[in-house]
Structure 1
């Protein structure tokens, strides 16, 4: 079984959420965006987790 869930950089993840990189890191600190996966010195976010942030915001809006 192969799972295709690309790992995104902070720039790519912030672009999907349409926020600046400093705002992206504020949302990580707030717990709205999950903490990154650390690979050596790199920080990466699974695309599925970034997309689930959007889905959670939509669900909260509709609740």
Structure 2
């Protein structure tokens, strides 16, 4: 089974941030470096899930 890839805009909407802030999280190493598909940058579903789980774990 292939893992779904998400555009930066989709990632931003999913985590309620701007696209610019998504790139800042990538630069800080909080989100992994995206893969390139043609000229477009994409993140794997598992990368987004890992980030959200880490946020949830750190809120306590």
TM-score of the aligned structures, taking structure 2 as reference length: 0.87
Aligned length: 60
Q: Post-superposition shift, 1:15?
A: 0.7
Match of 2:50 in 1: 52
Q: Secondary structure at the match of 2:49?
A: helix
Q: Which has the larger radius of gyration?
A: 1
Match of 1:28 in 2: 26
TM-score of the aligned structures, taking structure 1 as reference length: 0.83
Q: Secondary structure at the match of 2:32?
A: coil
Runs of 4+ in 1 over 2 A off after TM superposition: none
RMSD over aligned CA atoms reads 1.2
Q: Which runs of 5+ in 2 are unaligned?
A: none
Match of 2:4 in 1: 6
